[in-house]
Structure 1
Amino acid sequence: MNQSLRDQLKQWEKQHKEMIREGRQKNRKRNSERLSEIEINYLMGVNMPTYKRGKGGAWRNVR
């Protein structure tokens, strides 16, 4: 008879423990880049001028 999916998964994990550990270690290296609050605001365009359509189709600075 076929094994249940849970039993198959446990068996696969036992055979591939080293691969699982390596994958977890690779994912930890992602958080190396740290941005300051000023850099994040610049990337989001917080201090960029905002324009709005005006009468006659002209663009006006809202701020």
Structure 2
Amino acid sequence: MADNKSKTGKQDRNKVNGSENYEIQYFKEKMGVSSQAVTGAIRATGSNDRKVLEDYLKKRHSK
């Protein structure tokens, strides 16, 4: 089912939808990484939760 942009709420803000380019674009700019890094983090963690992805990317890109 498509993301209904008229229904926004806490759940939408806590997730990064890997199928929505604008969400990947926002998150990659926020984290200072590439789009591939964001989609790779989603695949590697098996999660689309923003906090999980932020923690993963911080650990991966701080080395």
Question: TM-score category by the smaller chain?
Answer: under 0.3
Compare relative contact order (CA 8 Å, sep 6+) and give the higher one, 1 or 2: 2
Structure 2 length-normalised TM: 0.23
Quick check: which has more Rg, 1 or 2?
1
User: Under a length normalisation based on structure 1, what TM-score does the superposition of the two structures give?
Assistant: 0.23
